[in-house]
Structure 1
């Protein structure tokens, strides 16, 4: 049986993939070789943090901070800033529409992203964002 942590991470990846159907959505990608025309999203495992504990019944309450890297390049005449903004809005809409990940979480929220440009010789300029999705959930075992 898959742990609650892994189930939540997989559900966040699925949520983002649904929000960004034209983008490639990966998990823990080491290094992107290229940014596809529809953009790239990388879901990192993040940090579940130190849980709060209730004793009866024994329950661990996590606020898991899941890092998500989003990258967009100019495509079909759309500036990379607009492409990235559209991707971020789509993720925000998906999070707002499914705050419990189908019952897996008590609450799901996204923090405001930080954005920047990335340039490499011989490639198109890329705009990227780093955002954090916070999944609040409980489990009876800190390793589950």
Structure 2
């Protein structure tokens, strides 16, 4: 009977070890499942930030710009301090009317938008650099004065 008892004990230990391993494997899987969710959330945040271009403005300064755009240029989005596509579309309408912007009203603050912005900033906000379409430090400093 001893060999049978030993066999039963070994079989029981193997079963317990298998259950424990399964629990550990399941626990590892449950923890691993949260990683893609965290990565997805991080990717979504990065995409949202990529769509925002404040050119060095603080949130409060960007809100000032959005309020100006809402008052005069048809901006209807949230006053959230994030200059995204809709903010830039409204700004492009302003730049097209007064500052020589001739591109599409697409919300992309690319070089042509920046050139028109630089013309505005040169006229009234102390920008002294070239009209080059690059939002360098001089453009950013003048944009901050505009947004104040």
> Which TM-score band applies after superposition, normalised by the shorter structure?
under 0.3
Q: Which has the higher helix share?
A: 2
Q: Which has the higher strand share?
A: 1
Higher relative contact order (CA 8 A, sep 6+): 1
Higher Rg = 2
Give the structure-1-normalised TM-score. Answer: 0.22
